[in-house]
Structure 1
Amino acid sequence: MKIRFKNLALFTLLMAGALANAQQKQQDIDKKVEALIAKMTLEEKVGQMAQITLDVIGKGENRFSSTYPLALDQAEMKKVFGKYHIGSVLNTASGHALTPQKWYEIISEIQKTALKEDTNKIPVLYGVDEIHGATYTDGATMFPQQIAQAAARNPVMTERGAAITAYETRASNIPWNFSPVLDLGGDPRFSRMWESFGEDPYLCSVLGVAMIDGYEGKDNNIANPEKVASSLKHFLGYHATVSGKDRTPAYISEEALREYHLPSFKAAVDAGAHTIMVNSGIINGVPVHANYNILTKLLKEELGFKGLIVTDWADIENLHRRDRLAASPKEAIMLGINAGIDMSMIPYQYEVFCDNLIELVKEGKVKQDRIDDAVRRILKVKYALNLFDKPNTNPKDYPKFGSKEHEKASYDMAAEAITLLKNESNVLPLKKTAKVLITGPNANNMRTLNGAWTYSWQGDRTELHAQQYNTIVEAVTNEVGKANVTYIPGVSYKEGGHYYDELADKMDEAVAAAKDADVILLCLGENSYTEKPGDMNDLYMSDLQTELAQKITAAGKTVILILNEGRPRLISKFEPNVKAVLQSYLPGNFGGDAIADVLFGDVNPSGKLPYTYPRYPNATIGYIHKPSEEQKKAEGVYNYEADYNPQYPFGFGLSYTIFSYKDLKVNKASIKKGENLQVTVVVTNTGKVAGKEVVHLFTTDLYATSVTPDVKRLRRFEKIDLKPGESKTVTFELNPKDLTYVGRDGKDVLEAGDFEISVDKLKATFTLSE
């Protein structure tokens, strides 16, 4: 007992010391920032608020496109950093991934020029979208995309992947990462659903915090040369558009905004994230980039966010050009800065932004205090990153870049993400002696395994950088031997043009080859896309892929459907005729290996759906919905065809073993407000192989007085690993916050009443009293 007390005392002392050191460090930064602001001219301050894209200072015919290989334009840099004092640069040039050494050379030259030309010697803050690895760095470790990480349900893996991404981003001399995406991915039509952690606010919150811990460290010490400043995006409600298309209007009540969309961002702000990026869209008629209530009142004041707010691409300009809220670019700048924007991702016409903002301050239309607040936030991030003392990080100091250790972490995450959705008659795992026909446009394609934001914005250059990794065809061939594999694409993606266009390519040949196969691996899904190029009008799997599936399944052989897609494309036209369905999402460079290992039993699948997989295009409601969505046929009255009837529900995922649940218990039948509730359940592996299981705990507020309650909500989850015959008691702790809901006035409501807990098929009830 004494030894434990001494250790606890020592731990407390160390924690107190660390907190004191952190506070002193922040005080030192604050003093430096204030001293620097006092010396800066208005022009220098405005320059710090401007961010340009790399093409602007690259040699080329114009500032919109650089020549390749990239070289910097010294005359333009002198103007950018000397005359306009630009404080930040983003992106790669002409859409090309660069080696770490090339990144080091380019950004070092930028820093050298900025420090030479700028009177106050303020370093540049360089940022890139590194959403599943060091996106724009050749040789970097590419992880599964966020939607796959959500399926893995493994926060430890997510944190580890983010830490590796931070390490390899710093190895590229880049200190700022526009990630994680904390938008609620609840609309399968939306082109960026796959960039999210799925449709549940709690799941998004847990994995979002894990990712921030990986990027910044649990202590948020981004001066550490292996950490980066993270950027939460896109604040707020970005995915909830009416049309399901990117950057289009949303209508979200105050109750829904706070109940569903805000929790993940609040958790991330509380976790200490240094920067945040704004939603490019419109909520209730107001572009978010001009919404003072969201950016200042909610984010900065209510949530207490002390960091830097940056726009998305050209979104202050879009207040005038696209959204027509402002009659001129100058008015757009006034609206955005006064709403709370600290840095404008311009990205090209920096003179327009800087010159107009200077005029606005002189005219009194933007207050000097607002400028100082923005610059203060920017400079604090630069000091926190230690850029003033060490503006560059050299790849020679990062020996683990692209290492086998990092690659294994990517593979492990992909293996845990893959989700088995159907396994009729236990057709999987397959025998390694099987003769396999592999067909479909995603079968032999590294681009589709990774998705967009991979070596280039749309992922269209992936094949140039990922030849050393295995496609599904190559990975399966490694498992069963070349003699046992026949590959006929059947359908192919067209090079260039629209990202969904396809070409019939030996479809009849694939169908004819089916007769000689023991099993057919049908690899369907999507080509890579993001943002506006990913908008769509038809949620069904594309026509040619559907035709291929229908013809292949009609051959009468065992068909395994392997899905490789960023969002759930509807498969109800042919799903009944396949024996098994494997969802791989966008699993990254090691996705092919992980898929093959699951197919042939080297890995027992443990992924769980992070979204609801719809069955029909007019039935895309998620698992978080009101009881009225589940109206059944009334006897003798109407046949309600459009009841809640998904292809596969949120949280679903099969295994090669069997997990049984029993003894769901709550430690109290009744609790008072302010008390916690303990929930236990026993999970047993009753099958013959070891496996991992995600235990989900849902709650249901049986009756509410202000707002109709949701049918159920996820409150906790834990992933466990059980050997055959092994049991584990899983314990969850619920607190009063888990039982609150947001009322019509936008405030939290905690009501006395009856609640139901569900884990798997088990249920238990308890009462909350006054």
Structure 2
Amino acid sequence: MKKILLTILIIGMTAIDSLAQLTEEQISQKVDSVMQTMTLTDKVGEMTQLAIDMVSTPGAEPDELNEESLRNVLLNYRVGSILNVAGHAYTLDEWHSVIRQIQDMAIDEKPTGIPVIYGIDSVHGANYTMGSTLFPQQIGMAATWNTDLIREGSRISAYETRASWIPWNFSPVLDIGRNPEWPRFWETFGEDVHLASKMGEAMVEGFQGDDVSSPYRVAATAKHFLGYSLPASGHDRTVAWIPDIQLREHILPPFEAVFDAGVHTVMINSGEVNGIPVHANEEILTGLLRDELGFKGIAVSDWADIIYLHDRHKITKDYKESIKVAINAGVDMSMVPLDLEFPRLLKELVEEGEVPMSRINESVERILRVKFLLGLFDQAYHPDIDYSKFASNEHQQASYQTAVESITLLKNEAEILPLSKEANVLVTGPTAHSLIYLNGGWSRTWQGDDPQYDTPGKKTILDAIRDEIGENNVNYAEGTSIDEEIDIDVVVQAARESDVAVIAIGEATYTEMPGDLSDMHLPEAQRELVKQVAATGTPIVLVMVEGRPRIINDIVPEADGIVMAYLPAHEGGRAIADILFGDQNPSGHLPFTYPSDSNDIVPYDHNYTDEVGPLGFNPEWEFGTGLSYTSYDYSNLTVSKATFGADDELEISVDITNSGEMAGKDVVQLYVSDLVASITPPVKRLRGFEKVNLEPGETQTVRFSITADDLAFVGRDNEWITEEGEFKIQIEDLEQNIIFQK
């Protein structure tokens, strides 16, 4: 059988053909050729994705797969995909052993010879490979407002993931970060649709490149389709109530952007939207995703989410009915992940006529298409490829630069920053001397909370400050853990003997349900630490290491300087120290609105009605905020036409001048306001941005081009519309009104 299959596959191809040269028609022909050799058992197996635990020997080393289990999974059940790690990151050698064993058995012994597609969550670097380059988490990437950095970082992440012989990456997260209570907030690109769309597009381009079959690229995954990030409770995997207008205007566009960029797979939202689990929602998974948006790739479930249709959502009577509902709704591959009931029950459903064979064929064709695009049929892994740049200085420097450009200066009273390198500095706080807090979740382990897997030689904030100014100039006391006091009295005494206190506050590492919050305030122990240091009169610089904005309204007045570090990863300690002492000029800008209180979560692009009343819109810091050690002047806002029409492009330009004494980067942000609309319009919306690098005294002209589509909104009929009328163009404090006429 295998020899017949291989003969079919090479018909019409020469030895020098590359998949990048194949047309969709040629790919379809190859998929059809394989489909003709497949039984129903083969097909439902292709739709099955199992965790590596299912083929591992419990308690054994990672590369010691259980041959009997592997043989059962691949040869009896014909499973087409495996994912994840058994507990913690593997070394490159261990990954190579694992992938080699799996692919050799699949190709050499499965009747069809179809290779396995292995998937992993490389969400900020190849984070499940020991020693790999870790980048800032997505919320920090967004704070750079620099798509070039994100594209390059994603290329490096693809390189190091493929160096592990893994071709499929479950990234990026395209969920919009508009509810900071949600524990996966830091996995998003923030609250703005335009910023998230541009960042997601750059990430997919970096992962997949021009030819995803390259041994240095991976297939990307747009997740989680659709509406996952807005649960009403703020808790993970709970119900979101999303009106159609909001879904189309705020939730869908980042996914559309990466579909246009050619992303090959999507992962489905684990929660419910308007009371319907998305894994059971044919209107979303078929009507929207396939019929309206034309997506051709694989739709994979999230972890155990088909099982959960019965166990959690209670919409089916048993697992078998859950499978029927999910597959008929449009799921192509089930991330099972820990049982072999799925392929058995799915086969029964087909034989009983409950799931049509056409749905099975449709899904298998999509899966095989991606396997062909990845080049897995040609070479499932690449033992002869040189991956010598893995974790290289070049890659580490890219991570460092991303961290530097993400760090956001939010307060700098009396220009306390940058600090003098001659100062006597107290360093304290729970995140000051921990790599796991800099890294966050999805770092060597799922929760990222085990320091035994830290990469040797990486610097904590304390380490980096000691390197910066010398150990003799640094006093250190922990002060508190994340939520408990330890030695605040020792800190207070040290503060009295120091010129300045750098207090590193923030969150424990977490992701998904373990990160659910009952209170958005920063834990009381940390706030008390800041207050007691402030009582000594010693100037304070807060460094916030957190994945979402925690409420700190009672300690903001106590701090002279406040730096938002997000989750900057391995090079974050060094980047933070370089910012604090002026080796680098901060250029990050908030990708979300930082609320001033728990009941004051309002995004920047709120409606005018959100400003009514005594509270109004009063955040701690607004979206787009970011200070610098230099100053920038904006002038000469110019618009090409005072009135423009549906077929016109409006050219907008502005001059930006570095009027200070230090080189720096600023983000030029273009906002548009619809002054009158048929439904209440937002006060403003981001419609363009560009990060520019300026020497002291230098002026650059930044240009934007917008069309009628950039003025559009989703109207009462849930369709995009641009209405005639007056709009305001705004860059910094410069404004100009225009008229749109159809």
What does residue range 536-685 of structure 1 map to in structure 2 within 5 Å? 536-632=517-613, 640=614, 642-685=615-658
Q: Secondary structure at the match of 1:679?
A: strand
Q: Secondary structure at the match of 2:197?
A: helix
- What residue identity is the alignment partner of 2:105? T
Q: Percent identity?
A: 47
Query: 1:11 matched to which residue of 2?
Result: none
Q: What CA deviation, in whole Å up to 9, does each residue of 1:624-656 have, x standing for no partner? A: 211011115xxxxxxx2x321000000000000
Query: 2:11 matched to which residue of 1?
Result: none
Out of 49, 72, 81, the position equivalent to 1:88 is: 81
- What residue identity is the alignment partner of 1:628? T
Deviates most, 590-599 or 737-746: 737-746
Query: 2:31 matched to which residue of 1?
Result: 33
- What residue identity is the alignment partner of 1:767? I
Shift in Å, 1:461: 2.3
2:740 paired with 1:754: no
2:206 paired with 1:224: no
Shift in Å, 1:363: 1.4
- What residue identity is the alignment partner of 1:205? S
RMSD of Structure 2 on Structure 1 (CA) = 1.2
Deviates most, 443-452 or 391-400: 391-400
Query: 1:204 matched to which residue of 2?
Result: 196
Query: 2:55 matched to which residue of 1?
Result: 57
Q: Secondary structure at the match of 1:397?
A: coil
Question: Is contact 1:475-1:592 (8 Å) kept?
Answer: yes
Question: Is contact 1:172-1:394 (8 Å) kept?
Answer: no
Question: Is contact 2:63-2:97 (8 Å) kept?
Answer: no
CA distance in 2, matches of 1:394, 1:162: 22
- What residue identity is the alignment partner of 1:85? R
Shift in Å, 1:460: 1.4
Shift in Å, 1:175: 0.4
- What residue identity is the alignment partner of 2:66? D
Out of 700, 712, 715, the position equivalent to 1:743 is: 715
- What residue identity is the alignment partner of 2:296? K
Out of 30, 45, 51, the position equivalent to 2:43 is: 45
2:741 paired with 1:769: yes
2:475 paired with 1:486: yes
2:723 paired with 1:731: no
Shift in Å, 1:30: 1.2
Q: Secondary structure at the match of 2:517?
A: coil
Question: Is contact 2:88-2:446 (8 Å) kept?
Answer: no
2:343 paired with 1:354: yes
Question: Is contact 2:653-2:702 (8 Å) kept?
Answer: yes
CA distance in 1, matches of 2:126, 2:647: 44
Shift in Å, 1:75: 0.8
CA distance in 2, matches of 1:623, 1:108: 50
CA distance in 1, matches of 2:384, 2:188: 30
Shift in Å, 1:395: 8.0
CA distance in 2, matches of 1:280, 1:574: 37
Shift in Å, 1:300: 1.0
Question: Is contact 1:144-1:410 (8 Å) kept?
Answer: yes
CA distance in 1, matches of 2:360, 2:187: 33
Shift in Å, 1:341: 0.3
Query: 1:334 matched to which residue of 2?
Result: 324
Query: 2:357 matched to which residue of 1?
Result: 368
How high is the TM-score relative to the length of structure 1? 0.93
CA distance in 1, matches of 2:382, 2:493: 56
Q: Secondary structure at the match of 1:51?
A: strand
Query: 1:259 matched to which residue of 2?
Result: 249
Shift in Å, 1:480: 0.4
Label 1:285 to 1:750 Cα distance change in 2 as closer, same or farther (>3 A).
same
Label 1:54 to 1:22 Cα distance change in 2 as closer, same or farther (>3 A).
closer
Out of 72, 77, 90, the position equivalent to 2:65 is: 72
CA distance in 1, matches of 2:383, 2:531: 54
Q: What CA deviation, in whole Å up to 9, does each residue of 1:407-463 have, x standing for no partner? A: 000001100100000000111001100000000000000000010001110001245
CA distance in 1, matches of 2:360, 2:386: 37
- What residue identity is the alignment partner of 1:152? T
CA distance in 1, matches of 2:551, 2:145: 24
CA distance in 2, matches of 1:555, 1:569: 25
2:429 paired with 1:437: no
Shift in Å, 1:116: 3.0
What does residue range 173-184 of structure 1 map to in structure 2 within 5 Å? 173-184=165-176
Query: 2:684 matched to which residue of 1?
Result: 712
CA distance in 2, matches of 1:462, 1:296: 43
CA distance in 1, matches of 2:559, 2:452: 30
Paired residues, number:
725
CA distance in 1, matches of 2:451, 2:387: 24
Shift in Å, 1:67: 3.2
**Which residues of structure 2 form unaligned runs of 5+?**
1-17
CA distance in 2, matches of 1:464, 1:281: 31
CA distance in 1, matches of 2:707, 2:110: 52
How high is the TM-score relative to the length of structure 2? 0.96
Question: Is contact 1:104-1:393 (8 Å) kept?
Answer: no
Query: 1:511 matched to which residue of 2?
Result: 492
Deviates most, 712-721 or 504-513: 504-513
Q: Secondary structure at the match of 1:162?
A: helix
CA distance in 1, matches of 2:684, 2:31: 48
CA distance in 2, matches of 1:230, 1:75: 32
CA distance in 2, matches of 1:424, 1:261: 37
- What residue identity is the alignment partner of 2:497? D
Q: Secondary structure at the match of 1:39?
A: coil
Question: Is contact 2:74-2:106 (8 Å) kept?
Answer: yes
CA distance in 2, matches of 1:735, 1:175: 38
**Which residues of structure 1 form unaligned runs of 5+?**
1-19, 61-65, 494-501, 633-639
Query: 2:140 matched to which residue of 1?
Result: 148
2:661 paired with 1:697: no
Shift in Å, 1:393: 2.4
CA distance in 1, matches of 2:21, 2:377: 19
Query: 1:274 matched to which residue of 2?
Result: 264
2:376 paired with 1:387: yes
CA distance in 1, matches of 2:285, 2:399: 35
CA distance in 1, matches of 2:406, 2:452: 23
Q: What CA deviation, in whole Å up to 9, does each residue of 1:107-144 have, x standing for no partner? A: 11011122233100000000000000001100100001
Shift in Å, 1:675: 1.0
Q: Secondary structure at the match of 1:694?
A: strand
CA distance in 1, matches of 2:204, 2:102: 27
Question: Is contact 1:101-1:395 (8 Å) kept?
Answer: no
2:402 paired with 1:404: no
Query: 1:7 matched to which residue of 2?
Result: none
CA distance in 2, matches of 1:262, 1:159: 21
Q: What CA deviation, in whole Å up to 9, does each residue of 1:531-589 have, x standing for no partner? A: 00000110000111111111111111100000000001111011101100000000010
Q: Secondary structure at the match of 1:222?
A: coil
Question: Is contact 1:447-1:463 (8 Å) kept?
Answer: no
CA distance in 2, matches of 1:579, 1:466: 33
Q: What CA deviation, in whole Å up to 9, does each residue of 1:72-125 have, x standing for no partner? A: 1111111101110000000001x1111111100111101112223310000000
Question: Is contact 1:128-1:174 (8 Å) kept?
Answer: yes
Q: Secondary structure at the match of 2:485?
A: strand
Deviates most, 388-397 or 474-483: 388-397
Query: 2:8 matched to which residue of 1?
Result: none
Query: 2:13 matched to which residue of 1?
Result: none
Out of 108, 114, 119, the position equivalent to 1:116 is: 108
Query: 1:105 matched to which residue of 2?
Result: 97
Q: Secondary structure at the match of 1:420?
A: strand
Query: 2:456 matched to which residue of 1?
Result: 467
Shift in Å, 1:505: 1.4
